[in-house]
């Protein structure tokens, strides 16, 4: 059986105000072609299908049209789990209808671990793989809040909750495998999905990946997952990578760069082929559908890079950062003039000279665009002269509140 692992599509995402539907559409076209070319039997989407919990009509259309197109290919099954960006209720709403297309959606936990165990059969009804479709587990799904808890108590309960959930789901999968063996169907592999931030995971600036469980990031290691898992398909991190060096535990990464920090990455999907329970794993590189170029330097360096791109008829979207030592008050106008006659676009332009000498020197001139939510809270602590010994607990509580806002599902009744 051949399985394709992908994740973190973030359909509907913009880049500094520029919609990216053309890129998403080209990726999904390529994915259909790859499914056909590689004779894929099952597609796994490990969360963050959409970029927001309330995706627009075009993002929804891309998703549903793709699922219909997949049903006309050699791919017999699609398994989709919810990620931290997805609305569980939105993903789950059409699940019964999608089931008719052999699309299995698990947007959130239901309270019954068996609901996350899906058996995929071949055309003759023979079981081929058991899928543990574990969605993004929100704090409230795996931890009960108790008065007087310390930070260490919270972290321990989060990790224990994750481990317990995977243990319960995989135990049911193991029972099914044992039942299949008694019927003569041996070596049915167990594949698990997940959407989480594993220990040692690689991220890049500007990818939008955030810590999911406050304070517990470093404790979610490969030993958390049951040994019965033959392949673990993870989502959330945008850089393709293994978990703790385990080849059968992988992030596929995002299929298109979510920001300029990812522009130089080789984007991938992962193909897994099972002959028995031993997986053969191969990465497949995703083409670049829209070139992103970050240009940093003095004015002459920026000009030279733009000239090189123009000579190659580039259609890149540019992020330009001026780092020269002299003031250039008309930087935007000069860059626009340099780009005249090309198909390139400026998506963002930054003047480091202004930042270093004005904003950093005079705090009252800062704007909220220059700060993140944690910076703002730090400034509040400073303004109210909160003692250092009280700050750690306050910061942890604040981060929990921010995380709970992200976890709220606006589509839930």
Residue that is last in its domain, among 235, 253, 285: 285
Q: Is residue 412 part of a domain?
A: no
CATH of the domain at 191: 3.60.21.10
Rounded CA-CA distance 15/292 in Å is 10
**If you average pLDDT over every residue of the chain, what do you get?**
88
Q: Are residues 55 and 170 in the same domain?
A: yes
- Comparing 208-222, 295-309, 337-351, the range with the smallest average pLDDT is 208-222
pTM: 0.84
Looking at residue 385, its pLDDT comes to 77
Whose tokens are 């999968």? That residue is: 173
CA 191 to chain centre: 19
Residue 81, token pair as written in the block: 């789990």
CATH of the domain at 341: 3.30.160.720
**DSSP letter (8 states) at residue 319:** E
Rounded CA-CA distance 240/250 in Å is 7
CA 62 to chain centre: 18
pLDDT at 217 over 60: no
Q: Angle at Cα 270 formed by Cα 20 and Cα 221, nearest 5°?
A: 100
Greater model confidence, 306 or 378: 306
Q: What percent of the chain has pLDDT over 70?
A: 88
Instruction: Kindly report the number of other CB atoms within 10 A of residue 337's CB atom.
Output: 10
Instruction: Kindly report the number of other CB atoms within 10 A of residue 56's CB atom.
Output: 14
Confirm if 238 and 262 have CB atoms less than 8 A apart.
Answer: yes
pLDDT tens for 232-251 read 999 999 999 999 999 999 99
pLDDT at 399 over 80: no
Show Cβ contacts of residue 157 under 8 Å, excluding neighbours closer than 6 positions. 142, 143, 144, 149
Q: Is residue 178 part of a domain?
A: yes
Handedness of CA 244, 246, 249, 254 (dihedral sign): positive
Q: Are residues 321 and 276 in the same domain?
A: no
Residue that is last in its domain, among 285, 309, 344: 285
Range of the domain at 398: 292-407
Structural domain count of the chain = 2
Residue 290: exposure state from Cβ atoms within 10 A (0-12, 13-18, ≥19): middle
Q: Is residue 260 part of a domain?
A: yes
Rounded CA-CA distance 192/134 in Å is 7
User: Of 29, 105, 107, whose CA–CA distance to 73 is shortest?
Assistant: 29
């Amino acid at each position: 059986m051949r399985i394709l692992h992908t994740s973190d599509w973030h359909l509907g995402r913009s880049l500094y105000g520029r919609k990216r539907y053309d890129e998403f559409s080209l990726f999904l076209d390529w994915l259909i072609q790859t499914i056909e070319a590689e004779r894929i039997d099952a597609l796994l989407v490990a969360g963050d299908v959409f970029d927001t919990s309330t995706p627009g009509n075009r993002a929804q259309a891309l998703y549903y049209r793709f699922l219909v197109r997949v049903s006309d290919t050699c791919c017999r099954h699609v398994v989709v789990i919810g990620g931290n960006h997805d609305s569980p209720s939105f993903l789950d709403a059409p699940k019964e209808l999608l089931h008719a297309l052999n699309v299995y959606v698990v947007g959130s936990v239901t309270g019954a671990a068996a609901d996350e165990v899906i058996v995929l059969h071949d055309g003759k009804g023979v079981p081929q793989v058991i899928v543990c479709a574990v969605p993004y587990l929100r704090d409230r799904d795996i931890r009960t809040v108790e008065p007087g808890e310390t930070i260490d108590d919270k972290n321990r309960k989060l990790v224990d909750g994750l481990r317990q959930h995977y243990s319960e789901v995989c135990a049911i999968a193991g029972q099914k495998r044992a039942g299949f063996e008694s019927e003569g169907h041996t070596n049915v592999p167990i594949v698990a999905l997940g959407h989480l931030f594993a220990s040692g995971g690689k991220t890049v600036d500007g990818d939008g990946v955030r810590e999911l469980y406050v304070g517990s990031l470093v404790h979610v290691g490969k030993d958390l997952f049951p040994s019965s898992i033959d392949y673990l398909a993870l989502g959330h991190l945008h850089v393709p990578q293994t978990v703790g060096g385990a080849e059968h535990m992988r992030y596929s990464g995002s299929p298109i760069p979510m920001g300029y920090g990812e522009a130089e990455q080789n984007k991938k999907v992962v193909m897994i082929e099972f002959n028995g329970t031993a997986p053969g794993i191969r990465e497949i590189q995703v083409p670049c559908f829209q070139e992103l170029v970050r240009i940093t330097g003095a004015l002459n360096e920026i000009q030279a890079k733009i000239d090189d791109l123009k000579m190659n008829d580039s259609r890149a979207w540019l992020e330009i950062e001026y780092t020269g030592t002299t003031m250039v008050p008309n930087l935007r106008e000069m860059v626009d003039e340099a780009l005249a006659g090309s198909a390139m676009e400026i998506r963002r332009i930054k003047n480091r000279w202004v930042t270093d000498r004005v904003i950093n020197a005079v705090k009252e001139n800062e704007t909220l665009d220059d700060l993140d939510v944690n910076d703002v809270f730090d400034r509040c602590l400073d303004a109210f002269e909160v003692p250092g010994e009280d700050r750690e607990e306050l910061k942890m509580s604040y981060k929990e509140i921010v995380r709970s806002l992200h976890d709220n599902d606006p589509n839930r009744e």
